[in-house]
Structures are given as C-alpha cells and as structure tokens.
Amino acid sequence: MTTTHAIEIVGLTKSYGDHDVLKGVDLRVGAGSIHALLGSNGAGKTTAVKILSTLLRPDGGTATVNGYDVAAQPQEVRASISLTGQFAAVDEVLTGRENLVLIAELRRQPAPGAVADGLLARFDLTAAGGKRVATYSGGMRRRLDMAMSLIGDPAVLFLDEPTTGLDPQSRLEVWATVRELAGRGTTVLLTTQYLDEAEQLADRIAVLHEGRIIADGTLADLKQLLPPTTVEYVEKQPTLEDIFLAIVGHGGAHHEGATR
Amino acid sequence: MTTVGHDTTVLLKRSLRHVLRSPDTIITTAITPIAMLLLFVYVFGGAIDVGDQSYVDYLLPGILLVTVASGIAYTAFRLFTDVSGGIVERFQSMPIARSAVLWSHVLTSVVANLTSLVLVVAVALVMGFRSGAGVLAWLGVLAIMVLFTLALTWLAVIPGLTARSVDGVSGFSYPLIFLPFISSAFVPTAGMPGPVRWFAEHQPVTSIVDTIRRLFAEQPVGSDVWVALAWCVGLLVVAYLLAMRTYRAKVA
C-alpha cells in the first residue's frame, strides 16, 4: 500500500446486456487531490462510481481504491470510502441527528452522539437537527447527506453529481465543503456534468465520453488541447447567476457587474 | 458473527422507529382482518354451521393468518422505499454485514405483525372469543404464527427488492389475503364441491388453521400440526433462498 494514487483504474469495462457503458476506462487519482470526472448524461460516470464503491462488479479490467482491489477486497474498500450518491440518500422519517447517529453507529464510532452534534454544527444544521428530514429543503438534505459521508473520516470520497438539482447558494456551500475536505487530505472523486464545477473545484479533470477517458489533466493541460488564445475585447455582462446571487445577498461583492 | 448482530441491531432500531412513527400501518394492517371478523361473525356467521363451537372461536385462527398476509405488504413497502430512495446503496457501500439490511426488515416485520395480531385477538376477546388454552398451547400458537410470519415476510422481501412501483409492491399480497377463503378458515370444507374441497384441504391455510383451532380448543392437534409445520418451514426455506438470491443479484 505504498501507492501515491488513491484510485487506480486500468482497462475497466462494464456492459448492460449489449449496451457497453464502459469500454476500457483508465484513470489515476492522486492521494489528497480533487479529481473531476466530467461527462454528459449517460457517459458512464455513475457506473464508474458504483464499481469503485463496490456496488457493481466490473466485467473486465481492475480498479483499486486506497490500495485495495474492488473485486477481491470489497470490505477493505468499503472501510476506506464514502459514497454520496446522485440523490440524497437520507432517511426521511428520522431526524437529521438520528441519521448521523445511525451512520456513526454503523461505522463503530466510540461516541455517536458527539459525532452527530459536531457535524450538525459544522454543516449549519444544529437548529434543524431535531426535525424530521422530510421537512428539510434540498440544500439541507444535501448538506446532511455530505455530513453523513464524512463520519469515520474516509480516505476517499465519491461525490456523484453533488450539486445537480441544487439552487446556486447550496451549490456554493457544497463547493466550500469539498474544498475544505481536500484541504484535510481527503481524496475526492467528483462526477459532474457542469463544466464550471469541474473548473472551480478540481485539481485534475478527466473527460469521460462514450465509455472512455478522452482527456485527463489539469485545467491548464486541457486548455493546451485548443489552439492558442486570441485576444478580443468583449464587454463583460453579468451572468444570471451573478445577478441572482447579488440580489439575494450572497457573494455579490466581487460580482461588480451586478451591484447596481 | 458479532458484526451481523451489531449491524442488524442498529438497523432494526431504525426501522422500528419507522413503524413507531407511523402507527397507522399497524392499525391499517389490523383493520381488514377486524372488518372480516365483524362481518363474518355478525352478518354471515348465523348462517354458517360449525357444530357446537361458537363462530368467533371457529373464525379467529383464519383471521390471524389474514392479518399476517395483509401486514407483510408493509414489509415489502418499507424495503421498497429503502431501495428506491438510495439508502440501501449507502448501507451497501459501507463496511457493514451484507445481510444486516434484510434481517433488520425481517425482524421489524415480525414485531409489527405480532403487534397487529395482539390487536386482532383483543377485538376478538371483546366479541366473545374464549379459549381455555394453557400457556403451552398459547406458546404453540405463537410459535406457528411467528413461523408463518417469517415465511411470508421472506416472500415479501422479493417484491420489496424487485418492484418498480409502489403498486407492484403491495399487489402481491392480495392473493395471500384471498387464499384463506378457499380453506377451512371461514366455513368447514365438508360442504364444498369435490375439486374445491380437494384444493381447500391440501393447501397450507387449512392445516395451519385447524392446528391453531385445536390448540385454542384444548384438543389434541393430531397429525395436522406436522403438515402445518412442514408447510411453514418449507415455505420459509424456499422464500428465504429466493429472497437471498434476489438480494445477491441486486447488490452484486
């Protein structure tokens, strides 16, 4: 286990019937980095994440996570990872705090209650901690979902489209959390269909297209794939997102174009 | 193995909380059998000849089976909700015992169904049901009901895992609720025409109902008890194996 790669995928294939979803995926994710897996809907992002988190068996190729083979040592892989799926997998009948205690107990934390309270505070959910999750907003659910994923300090975190369906504010909150995690040394593999999300968060970006990685590198590397930049003068218009954030009073200060 | 024990206990607490927070599922489970009890005792019962036994005494064992048959629909529903909501995937990506998710649902089903059964027996007592059965006979009834619940619960696990919609989940229990009608549960089989009578006397409900009836009436259970146990255990084993196979195919 002396590898500096937290995730190593070689020649990974997976088909459903005669539909080939992954046609030989190769990818290395450095320990402690944020790696974005970028691709359109149906590109195979979720399938890849499900294989890495031991929910699906690959048809061919190998994948190791934290030095453990996903097919041969699934239980060791599970002890090293956390998965935040595409839809917030939280228990609606339980309260937020009970959700956290549940996961803490399953992960054999010595003081589940204290773990839960700490995470509620960290994710700004203390006030809502005693309420049933069914009453939570989408952003609160996603925050709870991520808080549940952090219990037990997994070495590798899989985030499958963590901001799909979230409003811009919640999206920024998720981004902040991901950055904070990477700062603590957690390896994050993040799938997304949003180009700006990959650009904002990731140290490296891999593009998954039709079952293969067609590009992989830093943003600078990827930019070199295009012809040299030409300079043009274009009047900078605020994006609708800038405007929205400015008028609701979040992060508006540096969006000059939108501050009236 | 302690892992299975620990993880099942944690998940069992969770799913019992679900039941506690929606007590209506226990009441809904008990309503159909209680309605049948009222209908048959006070409307049809007078026209049914069951010898010198009171009709409510005759009917209760069959109603107990109907209760379980309607209760396991919620077992399937709870499992379906977990699977479709993604929380099962979350559990499966964690280092916990693989079978803990299923066992917690199965044990919850037993607890919920026994609670409904107590409710139904209480209503029957108010309606005049009486039994001089001793502790041993009651324990015998309890044992048979637990076995029957386990068998039907493992059967319910299959649609819970595979159903694509809520309707598909609950639909499977209707035939099970209907089965007691073609048995000795409501009327003696002696008056049924040939083929119907043959079916009624050779399907599981009749032997189970007859056994419980004899236990309540302090009569020797005879060979019926072995037939009843064979049906329960046989159904349990088959349902368990099928459910486990479905589960493994589902969670890889």
Domain boundaries, chain B: 2-251
Confidence tier at A252 by pLDDT (50, 70, 90): very low
pLDDT in tens, B98-134: 889 999 999 999 999 999 999 999 999 999 888 888 8
User: What is the rounded (10 degree) CA torsion for A182, A186, A190, A194?
Assistant: -10
pLDDT in tens, A83-100: 987 777 899 999 999 999
pLDDT in tens, B4-17: 899 999 999 999 99
pLDDT in tens, A57-78: 899 999 999 999 999 999 999 9
pLDDT in tens, B179-189: 888 888 888 88
A199 touching B, CB under 8 A?
A: no
Tell which of B13, B82, B93 to mutate to test the A interface (max A CBs under 10 Å).
Answer: B93
Write the CA distances from B208 to B130, B147, B216, integer angstroms: 19, 11, 12
Tell which of B82, B90, B105 to mutate to test the A interface (max A CBs under 10 Å).
Answer: B90
A87 contacts in chain B (CB < 8 Å): 85-86
Nearest to A93 among B7, B17, B252 (CB): B17
Strands A204-209 and A212-217, sheet pairing? antiparallel
Output the pTM of the full model: 0.85
Interface of A with B in 40-99 (CB under 8 A): 53-57, 75, 78-79, 81-83, 85-94, 98
Helices (H), chain B: 2-21, 24-39, 55-85, 87-92, 100-126, 135-162, 166-171, 173-178, 194-202, 204-216, 224-251
The residues spanned by each domain of chain A are 5-89+154-229, 235-260
Q: Min CA distance, B17 vs chain A (Å)?
A: 8
Confidence tier at A1 by pLDDT (50, 70, 90): very low
Architecture per CATH, domain A5-89+154-229, reads as 3-Layer(aba) Sandwich (3.40)
pLDDT in tens, A22-40: 998 999 999 989 999 988 8
Rounded Cα gap, residues B158 and B136, in angstroms:
34
Record: contact A107-B86, CB cut-off 8 A: no
ipTM (interface predicted TM): 0.85
Q: Min CA distance, B96 vs chain A (Å)?
A: 7
**Least reliable range by pLDDT among A225-229, B25-29, B66-70:** A225-229
B87 touching A, CB under 8 A?
A: yes
Q: What is the DSSP letter of B241?
A: H
* Residue B83: closest CA among B92, B74, B95: B92
Strands A212-217 and A187-192, sheet pairing? unpaired
What's the pLDDT at A187?
Answer: 93
Tell me the average pLDDT across A161-188.
86
